Amino acid sequence: MIDIKALLDFDTRHIWHPYTSMKDPLPVYPVKEAKGVWLYLYDGKRLIDGMASWWAVIHGYNHPVLNQAICKQVERMSHVMFGGITHEPAVSLARRLLEITPRPLDRIFFADSGSVSVEVALKMAIQYWTSKGKGEKKRFLTVLKGYHGDTFGAMSVCDPINGMHELFTHVLPQHLFAPEPPPLSAGDFKEEHIEPLREIAERHRHEIAAVIIEPVVQGAGGMRFYSPAYLKRLRELCDSYDLLLIFDEIATGFGRTGELFASYLAGVSPDIMCVGKALTGGYMTFGATLTTEEVALTISEGKPGVFMHGPTFMGNPLACAVSLASIQLLFSYDWKGKVKKMEEIMRRELSKCADVKGVNEVRVLGSIGVVEMMDVVDVAQIQKMFVEKGVWIRPFGKLIYIMPPYVIEEDELVTLCNAIFDIVRSISAEKY
């Protein structure tokens, strides 16, 4: 029998959770097991998970197909170094990824996580231009309100002012930032929307290695949606000014927006693309950076003739096996129809929040539902309120949002939306 009080006491004293204080830590809720869209706590309470464990668990928890893939692979080998060795799970996964990702992406570098896949992408861009004899092209252009991860290179292309990494701005490489794309609610794309970025690109074209951006959805930087037409024009600008284009599809990949990858909404392809999160169905930390033959061969033809990156757990067989199983599982049913239905339900149910005082905006895209408040919410207080209602929703800043697993049933999704509506009304009544 587990002593839950002792478990929580030890956790509070010794374990540092994401974005929390060790002096005044936020409450944590001990999960005993998880299945489907449900988290089961030790006290007997069960919660509908509206977060899919930070957007990764698209098939739900404890899925028999993914469980079997992990178990089958672990009986063969859990890990071998990828230096000088290959294996069938890695080759099969790479083959499948190249079949479903935008052309002309043709080469894959397996990474440890989404953040590391961004590090790899940035290094690819710098090494590409160095190999072409243009080592001065080593800065990156991006947009404000973006988020690309917590490692140092990734932090350097996150929003430097309003992002989570402002504290480190003075020690990070200084890159170039254009205003964020206008939201979808601003209407159709106009040339003026991208003009500030174009001006920076023109002025600094000789020192910019690449533009990096989250296509269509800016995730942890604000859960903002913008026009796919912006990406079409961005692709043209990168071609005109001789810049590589990097798409960070870590949050948007594998169906989250209603298309398999958000780049398909715009009908454009990047030179380098990062994936992670849902790649393994949320079972393991894993990522990949895809690029074109031209980028890969250029790097390989320059000094020192190799790409300078090689994580210890690169190409981990367990991660490769479960990733392939997750992709096959996704294609085994009408995932696009499922995500479209989720979108319809969230539009219908969350729209009720728009008339509540204190709500700034309600927005929905694919399987992403967002209620943006006027003011920053008290995370500890609102988290407790959600748990009491039997749902797991983790707000941040002014945002109360959900990105549930695709296997969620209609009544479960309605329960999530109703919980948001009830709590938003409660907050409003208390404040106004």
CB neighbour list of residue 309: distance below 8 Å, 6 or more residues apart: 109, 119, 120, 123
Q: What is the DSSP string of 363-411?
A: EEETTEEEEEESS---HHHHHHHHHHTTEE---BTTEEEE---TT--HH
User: Choosing from 61, 147, 230, 406, which is the catalytic residue?
Assistant: 147
How many residues are present in the chain? 432
DSSP H stretches of helix in 36-113: 52-55, 64-74, 88-100
- Nearest CA among 15, 50, 18 for reference residue 414: 50
What whole-number distance in Å separates Cα of residue 395 and Cα of residue 401? Answer: 6
Dihedrals phi, psi of 90, to nearest 5 degrees: -70, -45
Q: Is 248 a catalytic residue?
A: yes
User: Choosing from 277, 283, 398, 406, which is the catalytic residue?
Assistant: 277
Burial class (CB in 10 A: 0-12, 13-18, 19+), 258: buried
CA 66 to chain centre: 21
Amino acid, res. 252: T
Q: Is 147 a catalytic residue?
A: yes
What whole-number distance in Å separates Cα of residue 209 and Cα of residue 345? Answer: 42
What whole-number distance in Å separates Cα of residue 414 and Cα of residue 395? Answer: 18
- Nearest CA among 346, 314, 323 for reference residue 419: 346
Dihedrals phi, psi of 341, to nearest 5 degrees: -65, -40
What is the bridge-based pairing of β-strands 224-225 and 176-178?
Answer: unpaired
Q: Where do the DSSP E strands lie in 152-297? A: 176-178, 208-213, 217-218, 224-225, 244-248, 272-275, 287-292
User: Choosing from 49, 112, 150, 248, which is the catalytic residue?
Assistant: 248
Q: Is 19 a catalytic residue?
A: yes
What is the bridge-based pairing of β-strands 38-41 and 368-373?
Answer: unpaired
Q: What is the dihedral of CA 146, 150, 156, 158, to 10 degrees?
A: 10
What whole-number distance in Å separates Cα of residue 252 and Cα of residue 366? Answer: 10
User: Choosing from 9, 19, 45, 239, which is the catalytic residue?
Assistant: 19
What whole-number distance in Å separates Cα of residue 285 and Cα of residue 112? Answer: 6
What positions carry a catalytic annotation? 19, 147, 248, 277
